[in-house]
């Protein structure tokens, strides 16, 4: 600490020169608090490092920084709080200041995506006991619904500051340590750092500075939303690709199984030609029935892959035989009813129709379309 005189200290920290005549604390008592806090730096640093290391274990964390409150900043804060008539600061002493001031240790938690806040909040709640309900500072117009109202005190900030503040308790009953954790995105961190450097201590009311800082705040918010949107799009694309590959693998397996059943049917026909009997006939019927069932499932799974509604799915068979007056690339398109779908294996997209089913003559459920 510097060897300030009271007047030098008040001037350095932009406090009224008559501060000590307006507050209950005297310079000697304030100086004693500052020196005692300075002597606790090693113990507080160990506690801060331990908390930061534990927070970094969470995969949604981008980075963690910590600091021990500067003794002179602590002294200036006490004077400002007493000037503001803050009740809990009126009787502060060297014996009780560590139980009154809850940000002697400050930890900054940064994450990339706004939605990560919920995951990190759950993690912090699992690890630590709160001194008070966490506070969520937001800007007018922000969507705050992704964080439950029951778990936060939500406060609109007058200059657009966005952050979640936690006060946690660590240590045992006789050696309690309070730590303030501030959690925000990287974009919000950039804005808040620049805002603090430019705005304080002398430009808080400058209208030109205020205007441009608000524009910067909006840009940071927009960047957060863009980052979140890009992440969502990526997740959807990866899910779709994984789902598509899964269906392809399933179709390959089903195709091989169907081909195996086709071979079994051919084998049954050969056996019936060589020595027809009722046992061979029943085996053939079982093989044909199983093949129909597989082809029904094959069609349903393909419909899911295309992600289209059942009313827009068309079942048909493409054949080189001339069985219809409608042709596409030389192949006939055959409308079918739903009862006969199991006999066929090709599907495509089309509209509902009342064309008769080629297989049984009943009204077809759907019309085949190129």
Mean pLDDT of 236-255: 73
Neighbouring C-beta atoms of residue 330, cutoff 10 Å? 8
Q: Supply 134's token pair.
A: 């966490």
- Tell me, what's the pLDDT at 200? 60
Residue of 127, 149, 130 lying closest to 138 (CA atoms): 149
Q: How does residue 75 score in pLDDT terms, banded at 50, 70 and 90?
A: very high
The radius of gyration of the chain's CA atoms, rounded to the nearest angstrom, is: 37
- Tell me, what's the pLDDT at 18? 93
The label of the residue with tokens 């980052």 reads 227
The label of the residue with tokens 């500052």 reads 34
Q: How does residue 246 score in pLDDT terms, banded at 50, 70 and 90?
A: confident
Mean pLDDT of 117-131: 92
Q: Give the residue ranges of DSSP H helices in the chain.
A: 6-12, 19-22, 27-39, 41-55, 71-83, 97-100, 116-127, 186-199, 207-274, 278-306
Least confident of 3-17, 158-172, 174-188, 270-284: 270-284
- Tell me, what's the pLDDT at 74? 95
Count of all residues that appear for the chain in the document? 370
| 235 vs 122, residue with greater confidence | 122
- Tell me, what's the pLDDT at 347? 41
| 367 vs 269, residue with greater confidence | 269
| 71 vs 306, residue with greater confidence | 71
pLDDT at 8 over 80: yes
- Tell me, what's the pLDDT at 337? 59
- Please answer whether residues 325 and 345 qualify as being in contact, where contact means their C-beta atoms are separated by less than 8 angstroms: no
Mean pLDDT of 57-79: 93
pLDDT at 45 over 80: yes
pLDDT at 149 over 70: yes
What is d(CA 75, CA 31) in angstroms, rounded to the nearest whole number? 7
pLDDT at 198 over 80: no
- Tell me, what's the pLDDT at 324? 36
CA 108 vs CA 112, 179, 235, 357, 370: distances in Å: 13, 11, 28, 70, 60
What is d(CA 283, CA 268) in angstroms, rounded to the nearest whole number? 7
| 153 vs 195, residue with greater confidence | 153
């Amino acid at each position: 600490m510097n060897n300030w005189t009271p007047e030098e200290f008040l001037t350095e920290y932009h406090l009224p020169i008559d501060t000590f005549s307006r507050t209950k604390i005297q310079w000697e008592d304030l100086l004693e608090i500052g020196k005692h806090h300075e002597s606790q730096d090693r113990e507080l640093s160990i506690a801060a490092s331990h908390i930061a290391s534990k927070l970094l274990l969470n995969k949604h964390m981008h980075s963690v920084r910590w600091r021990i409150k500067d003794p002179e900043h602590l002294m200036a804060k006490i004077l400002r709080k007493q000037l503001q008539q803050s009740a809990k600061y009126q009787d502060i002493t060297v014996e009780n200041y560590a139980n009154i001031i809850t940000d002697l240790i400050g930890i900054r938690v940064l994450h990339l995506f706004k939605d990560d806040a919920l995951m990190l909040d759950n993690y912090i709640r699992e690890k630590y006991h709160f001194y008070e309900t966490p506070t969520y500072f937001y800007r007018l117009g922000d969507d705050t619904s992704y964080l439950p109202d029951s778990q936060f005190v939500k406060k609109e900030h007058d200059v657009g500051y966005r952050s979640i503040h936690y006060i946690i308790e660590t240590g045992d009953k006789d050696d309690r340590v309070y730590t303030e954790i501030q959690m925000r995105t990287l974009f919000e961190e950039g804005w808040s750092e620049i805002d603090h450097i430019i705005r304080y201590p002398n430009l808080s009311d400058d209208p030109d500075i205020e205007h441009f800082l608000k524009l910067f705040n909006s840009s940071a918010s927009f960047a957060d939303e863009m980052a979140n949107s890009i992440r969502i799009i990526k997740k959807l694309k990866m899910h779709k690709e994984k789902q598509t590959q899964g269906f392809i693998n399933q179709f390959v397996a089903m195709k091989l199984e169907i081909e195996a059943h086709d071979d079994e049917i051919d084998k049954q026909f050969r056996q019936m030609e060589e020595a027809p009997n009722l046992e061979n006939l029943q085996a053939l019927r079982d093989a044909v029935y199983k093949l129909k069932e597989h082809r029904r499932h094959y069609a349903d799974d393909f419909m899911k892959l295309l992600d289209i509604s059942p009313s827009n799915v068309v079942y048909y068979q493409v054949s080189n035989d001339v069985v219809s007056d409608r042709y596409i690339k030389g192949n006939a398109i055959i409308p079918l009813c739903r009862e006969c779908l199991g006999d066929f294996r090709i599907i495509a997209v089309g509209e509902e129709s009342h064309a008769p089913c080629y297989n049984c003559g009943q009204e077809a459920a759907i019309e085949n379309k190129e």
